[in-house]
Homo-oligomer: A and B are copies of this chain.
Amino acid sequence: MPIAITLEELSTLLGDRLSRSKSDLAEHGRSESYFSARPPDAVAYPRTTEEVSAILRICNRNGCPVVGWGAGTSVEGNALAVKGGVCVDFRLMNAVLQINAEDMDVVVQPGLTREELNIALRDTGLFFPVDPGANASIGGMTSTRASGTTAVRYGTMREQVLALKVVLADGKVIETGTRARKSAAGYDLTHLFVGSEGTLGLITEITLRLHGQPEKIVAAVCAFPQMDAAVEAVQATIQMGLPMARIEFLDADTVAACNAYSGTGFPEMPHLMVEFHGTEDGVVHDVQRFGEIVEDMGGAGFEWASQTEERNALWTMRHNAYFAILASRKGATAVVTDICVPISRLAQAVEETRADIADSPIAGPILGHVGDGNFHAILLVDEENPAELAQAKDLAKRMADRALLHGGTITGEHGIGMGKLDLMASEHGLAWSVMAQIKRSMDPQNILNPGKVVRLAEHN
């Protein structure tokens, strides 16, 4: 691969917005979980779609790998430059291009983070609900089909993305979708790109649905004597049709880690954290009914938080859970699991997972967005200990197999990246080769985030 030629051409195009500095390469070669560093050969900071197009023309001509980069918060090594090449960092493309308040939509650039977007929307009466915890970029969230705590009510990125501007492997720029709420005009390319992790094109504009800021928000937290009682409370709540905005499960180990990390004093028992959005009356009604379910299931210590500050403290604690768990074992890194099952199988899947972890030497607190059947075990491993890493990967593999056995999926929201590539065949069978066919037809040179999502015999 004539990388030197590519970098020279890119340098002419971008000037000092093509960086080869050690710190830049290191920053764009790390991930937030157990993968070892895979730095790119250079980092590009484009300002416009036209520049992204020019970058791809150059890279495609030279067969040089291109990996998109948002906020670097993914946990499956989704943006690691496993074949080297150029990392395209979208931080300079972080504008809000249009707020269409009447139509409840917004057009943004991919480098904008979800928190920045919500700040820009503050005075419109609207908000963008998808909340994966991390302050991820909208481009990254789109590319991994992210979701998080609020998906049970508002859906995932799939439900929010109306339209895209995408630069294809050869530099051609296409637009998919429109601002209309629905369309039957041909193949749904928008949703082919959502979740494709930068392997089919680089997204440079995203049109998102917005939602009305709720009149009233109440959060509640409660403890359960046993994990299964908490999970059964979730199933009952869902099946009763209570419109929760969030419903999160934290096991006793997660609560202990959060207490230590955030200075909170919750009893070290399984917890549910919920939030209701609605009218003043509606929310009171929902919280009451939820309280009854909790009581039926033996839950205790049911506490409301209707003040913004209290709620923020709760969700900050929840959002820091991953780092709290990491901090609970000195020097540890994590194999993060992410299965999602039909809600009727949730209690069983969580219990089987708990038992499997308990039988292993690995520590693995369990938590998750259980309202849509999605949960994680954060398997803590010593980076320097290959045996531990292997044991954790075995546990993760068994969790994925269990998800499939229960009619679920190997990843609810983190995507495939490097971490789940070996599990794709068991979830998709022959359909995985259809993905490879599509990839080949759209990126024949395999320059776009090579080594991720699909496996191409001739390249990987």
> A407 within 8 Å of B by Cβ?
yes
A144 interface residue (CB < 8 Å to B): yes
Asked, given contacts A174-B431, A407-B179, A440-B441, whether A416 binds B186 with beta carbons under 8 Å apart, the answer is: yes
**Which of B144, B181, B196, B435 contacts A373 (CB under 8 A)?**
B181
Nearest-CB distance from A179 to chain B (Å)? 4
Interface 9-mer from A21-29, A31-39, A339-347: A339-347
> Considering the complex, which residues of chain A in the window 172-186 have a beta carbon less than 8 Å from any beta carbon of chain B?
172-176, 178-186
Kindly specify which of A100-108, A317-325, A326-334 makes contact with the partner chain.
A100-108
Q: Provide the bound-state CA to CA distance between A313 and B302, in Å.
A: 48
Kindly specify which of A263-271, A386-394, A420-428 makes contact with the partner chain: A420-428
Is A412 a contact partner of B180 (Cβ separation < 8 A)? yes
Write out the residue numbers on chain B whose beta carbons fall within 8 Å of the beta carbon of A424. Answer: 185-186
Q: A82-110: contact bitstring with B at CB < 8 Å (1 yes, 0 no)?
A: 00000000000000000010110100000
Q: A430-B173, A431-B174 are in contact. Are A413 and B342 (CB under 8 A)?
A: no
Interchain CB contact under 8 A, B182 and A412: yes
Q: Which of A142-198 contact B (CB under 8 A)?
A: 144-147, 151, 156, 158-159, 168, 172-176, 178-189, 191-192, 194-196
A: contact size bracket? 35 or more
- The answer on a CB contact under 8 Å between B454 and A186 is yes
This chain: how many copies in the complex? 2
User: Do B440 and A181 touch (CB < 8 A)?
Assistant: no
Chain B residue contacts of A440, Cβ below 8 A: 441
Q: A342–B100 contact, CB under 8 A?
A: yes
List the B side residues contacting A212 at CB < 8 Å. Answer: 241
* B344 x A185 contact (CB < 8 A): no
Instruction: Select from chain B the residue with minimum beta-carbon distance to A238.
Output: B104
Q: Does A376 contact B (CB under 8 A)?
A: no
Contact bitstring A421-458, B, C-beta under 8 A = 1, else 0? 00010011111101101111110000000000110000
Specify which of B159, B174, B180, B341 is in contact with A407 (CB 8 Å cutoff).
B180
Residues of B within 8 A of A343 (CB): 102-103, 181
Q: How far is the CB of A70 from chain B (nearest CB, A)?
A: 15
Q: Are A340 and B181 in contact (CB under 8 A)?
A: yes
Asked whether A139 is an interface residue with its Cβ less than 8 Å from the other chain, the reply is no
Q: CA–CA, A372 to B342, complex, Å?
A: 30
Tell me the bound Cα distance from A191 to B176 in angstroms: 14
Q: Contacts A103-B343, A344-B103 given: A192-B184 contact, CB under 8 Å?
A: no
Given contacts A103-B344, A159-B159, contact A409 B176 (CB under 8 A): no
Closest to A190 in B: B191
Q: Which residues of B contact A428 (CB under 8 A)?
A: 174-176, 185-186
A contact set with B: CB distance below 8 Å: 100, 102-103, 105, 144-147, 151, 156, 158-159, 168, 172-176, 178-189, 191-192, 194-196, 200, 212, 235, 239, 241, 282, 338, 340-344, 372-374, 403-404, 407-416, 420, 424, 427-432, 434-435, 437-442, 453-454
Indicate if the CB atoms of A145 and B188 lie closer than 8 Å: yes
Can you name the residue of chain B whose Cβ is closest to the Cβ of A435?
B187
- Known A105-B342, A195-B188, A241-B212: A183·B434 in contact at CB below 8 Å: no
Please state if B156 and A182 are interface contacts (CB–CB under 8 Å).
yes
Other-chain contact of A192, B102, B174, B187, B453 (Cβ < 8 Å): B187
A169 to B343, CA, bound (A): 34
* Closest Cβ neighbor of A164 among chain B residues: B431
